[in-house]
Amino acid sequence: MSGLIQIIGNDGGTWLAADGPEAGIVFSSRVRLARNLVSMLFASKAAPGEQKTVVAAVKSGVQKCPSLGQLAFIDFSRLNKREKRFLMEGYCISREMAAGDGKRAVFLSPDRELSIMINEEDHIRVQSILPGFQLREAWQRTNTVDDELGERMDFAFSDKWGFLTACPTNVGTGLRASVMVHLPGLIMTREIASAVQTVSRLRCTVRGIHGEGTDITGDFFQISNQATLGQDEEGLVGNVQRIASELVAQEKRARGVLLERHKMQVEDRVGRALGILGRARMLGLEETMSLLSALRLGVCLGLVSRYPITLINQLMIQVQPAHLELSSGREIEPGTLDGVRADVVQEALARR
Amino acid sequence: MLCQICKINEATVRYTEIINNSVTEVHLCENCAQFDEKTASEDFPLQSLFTMQDEQAETSTVTETEAAQECPSCGVAFGDIVSHGRLGCAECYTVFADKIEALIEKVHGAGQHVGKIPSAKGEGLRARSELLSYRSQLRKAIESENYEEAARLRDLIRGIEQRMVEQ
């Protein structure tokens, strides 16, 4: 069994077992803060020896924090590529953290809602993630952890530029707030472009993510702040909150339109998704994500009552490649991954 | 459709980025997507901003002398910073202040931090801003002949000044 699984278990983290506010449209809310220690080179420029020092310093700092006793420490030199990908698929670490090399580590809470990355692009990246629309809550948690760490460590900071980060695009608050939303309604009514353009302001970005196997696909979008300097943290979080709320409202309206005027088409799409997910012997990642997206819509519109949304949310992560490979507990023959995926999907759907 | 970065492989990853009303579609192959900062991290890549700085000019805005300038603390050259999109250490912010200032203004639309200050460092900064606030309150108290309040504020001010001296 993978060493990582031994530390953190196999369930994808309990944070996805709950659904959170606006669960039908909002998949997750996340806030991260970037910090660096004074007098140490930033992670990408530091030699391995210095990177190790940073890991040790942060580790010791975290272990002194009374409220962070539950966090598991994961040394990246012990992880293989698949295990790092596993963490990234579950949103515990960023893609940059999984892809990069150098001396890295992460502290992870049992429910996976809190992670403290060490030597990502910056020395420290504190991240809170929560299901549904809970952006302010995620901010409060991250902020509290940052306060605790700040009392025990010296962060690089200037009066003018705020918290100093490796990339000037993060300088100031070092804060990135993001909300992941599911917008199949706006896509099916072909209003997505105008909806997004209407809400794109306040120096925030709305990213639609497609592509083969690289990330969540299937009608998902991520809203995050682009600017990190010039406003205080609450203001920045508020901007993302506002824009996400508007998109949620738009999506609700679009879904209403779908039910009123295009019910047959929606039912057809959902029905086909159920059919393929339930019967196919091989399921590719991109197709699966698209089908799960349709199923998710069906559940939220009340067309499908058998499956709770949390099941689908969790499936979206469980069908990712590293999750399939590590959960099965054995080596998967190349070329059979799609078959394993079909089994996993059908097992999850049959359990209901 | 070919990958926009390597122009060799077929683009299998595409995403739409909409920032402040301008829409861009980006097409990448699986390989380049792994290393492209937009898909690799959620952060906005720095390199494109240096070129964005001067859209009218046909040549890069960074001269050779500028690119060669090094940070005494970490040894990183400004040219490296532009090509990798990252600074080497906190000192770089001071060393390359003028060049970075314009860039920061462009990305954030601002040039002054107004958010939280670190708990540890807070001491000095907080003390200074407290002093400013108390002093102005003291002036107002004296003007309105509220001498009890003035005395209270005066004692607070003395306490902070004393602590600052001791540090």
Which of A207, A217, A222 has the most B C-beta neighbours within 10 Å, making it the best mutation to test the interface with B?
A207
- Are A94 and A137 in a shared domain? yes
Q: Write down the pLDDT at residue B33.
A: 60
pLDDT tens-digit map of B43-96: 444 544 444 444 434 344 677 888 888 888 888 888 888 888 889 988 899 999
- The residues in A 94-113 lying below 8 A from B, measured between CB atoms, are 94-96, 99
Q: Could you tell me if A107 and A189 lie in one domain?
A: yes
Average pLDDT, rounded, for chain A: 89
AA letter at A287: E
**pLDDT for res A202:** 78
Alpha carbon separation from B28 to A232, B36, B134 (Å, rounded) = 35, 9, 57
Give the distance from residue A221's alpha carbon to the nearest chain B alpha carbon, in angstroms: 10
Query: Looking at residues A173-186, what average pLDDT do you find?
Result: 95
Percent residues over pLDDT 90 in chain A = 66
The residue behind tokens 């639609």 is A208
Instruction: Indicate whether A102 pLDDT > 70.
Output: yes
Give the Cα separation of A261 and B97 in Å (integer).
58
* Residue where the block lists tokens 């012997």: A281
| Chain B residue with minimum CA distance to A174 | B115
Residue-averaged pLDDT of chain B: 73
3-state secondary structure A41-75: CCCCCCCHHHHHHHHHHHHHHHHCCHHHCCCEEEE
Cβ neighbours of residue A137 under 8 Å, at least 6 residues apart?
A29, A130
Residue A71 has pLDDT above 80, yes or no: yes
Domain boundaries, chain B: 1-60, 62-115, 122-166
Tell me how close the Cα of A46 comes to any Cα of chain B, in angstroms. Answer: 8
Q: What pLDDT is recorded for position A11?
A: 65
Tell if the CB–CB gap between B111 and A42 is shorter than 8 Å: no
| Same structural domain, A145 and A85 | yes
**Mean pLDDT for the stretch of residues A310-329:** 89
| Sign of the torsion angle spanned by Cα atoms B156, A146, A48, A165 | negative
Instruction: Provide the domain limits for residue A286.
Output: 262-350
Residue, of B36 and A41, whose pLDDT is higher: A41
Nearest to A162 by CA among B108, B25, B72: B108
Cβ contacts of B100 on chain A, cutoff 8 Å: 168
pLDDT value, residue A261: 93
Q: Compare all CA atoms of chain B with the CA of A219 and give the residue at the minimum distance.
A: B15
Q: Is the pLDDT assigned to residue A226 strictly greater than 80? A: yes
Please give, rounded to a whole number of angstroms, the shortest distance from the CA of B69 to a CA of chain A: 17
pLDDT > 70? residue B22: no
* A180 within a domain of the structure (yes/no): yes
Query: Which of the listed residues A202, A237, A256 is the one where a domain comes to its end?
Result: A256
For residue A64, the chain B residues in CB contact (below 8 A) are none
> For residue B13, what is the nearest residue in chain A, using CA coordinates?
A211
Which of A199, A232, A256 is the C-terminal boundary of a domain? A256
Number of domains in chain A: 2
Nearest CA to A177 among A235, A217, A218, A105?
A235
A264 versus A38: the higher-pLDDT residue is A264
Same-domain check for residues A275 and A338: yes
Q: How far is CA A132 from CA A21, A23, A150, A283, B129, in A?
A: 5, 5, 29, 27, 38
pLDDT average, residue stretch A7-26: 80
Nearest CA in chain B to A32: B42
**Residue that wins the pLDDT comparison between A131 and B17:** A131
Same domain, A116 and A155: yes
CATH of the domain at A149: 3.30.590.10
Q: pLDDT confidence of A28, banded at 50, 70, 90? A: very high
| A252 & A266 share domain | no
Residue A1 lies in a domain: no
Domain-ending residue, one of A256, A274, A304? A256
pLDDT at A96: 86
Report helix, strand or coil for B66.
helix
Whole-number Å distance between alpha carbons of B73 and B69: 12
Report pLDDT digits (tens) over A131-157.
Answer: 999 999 999 999 999 999 998 888 999
Rounded (10°) angle between helices A285-300 and A309-318:
170
Residues A274, A249 share a domain? no
On whether the CB atoms of residues A293 and A219 are closer than 8 A, the answer is yes
The answer to the question of residue A318 being in a domain is yes
Q: Is the pLDDT of residue A245 over 60?
A: yes
A114 and A85 in one domain? yes
> What is the average pLDDT across B138-157?
87
CB A340 within 8 A of CB A328: yes
Same-domain pairing of A36 and A165: yes
Cα of B155 to nearest chain A Cα, Å: 27
> Averaged over A197-220, what is the pLDDT?
66
Domain-embedded: residue A2 = no
